Amino acid sequence: MIEKFDAARRQMIDQQVRTWEVLDPRVLETLAAVPREHFVPEAYRGVAFADTAIPIGHGEFMLQPKIEGRVLQALGLERGERVLEIGTGTGFLAACIEFLTGDVESMEIHAELADGAARALARLGVTRVRVACADAMNRGFDPHYQAIAVTGSLPVYDPRFERALAVGGRLFVVVGSPPVMEARLITRTAVDAWLSETLFETCIEPLRNATPAVRFHF
């Protein structure tokens, strides 16, 4: 079984992640090292490396591997940086971030998912991820993070996360509504200045309690 998973992992990296322009050696090493199959619900373990968003309960989904790779590459994480993840899910992306940086705070609104992620991380000896059950859309943040990854989309852009960045910090966020959304990298260039770059188009589930888009009816 281990050999089967290893072969599927290599295929995932070569056929999905690399072809989506994820070429950073550190990111590829991370995706090869962190056992994704241990973070997938048992019923879906056979498709742990498939190019699909895997259901994890409560209407939530794991990101596709290629998107996880783009998140990690875009943030350009360095050892020792303080990172905030919004939307822990099963804990896989948090484990990848920890592999690259060593210091992760992760917030998950669903208590069952938060507890499951914490257990999965502990089983693998991942000790530098702190998982909290909390609603990120109903709290403020101190501006001291070098990187923030928001794993659910925002139908309407919310500046609370960019304001939580330290100067030089980077934010990955997906903005918009189906069928097409924009993945953006936002960098805090000064105390009162931010630079936004559109990375690619995608479509992922919205962050719970995010402000909905206004729909006009004629």
- Give the sign of the dihedral formed by CA 27, CA 62, CA 198, CA 166: negative
Contact (Cβ atoms closer than 8 angstroms) between residue 28 and residue 65: no
Q: What is the chain's pLDDT, residue by residue, as a tens digit (218 residues)?
A: 667 889 999 999 999 999 999 999 999 999 999 999 999 999 999 999 999 999 999 999 999 999 999 999 999 999 999 999 999 999 999 999 999 999 999 999 999 999 999 999 999 999 999 999 999 999 889 889 999 999 999 999 999 999 999 999 999 999 999 999 999 999 999 999 999 999 999 999 999 999 998 775 55
CA distance linking residue 105 with residue 203, whole number of Å: 25
Residue 130 lies in a domain: yes
CA distance linking residue 173 with residue 196, whole number of Å: 10
Supply the CATH number for residue 32's domain: 3.40.50.150
Residue 154 lies in a domain: yes
Residue 212 lies in a domain: no
* Domain range enclosing 55: 2-202
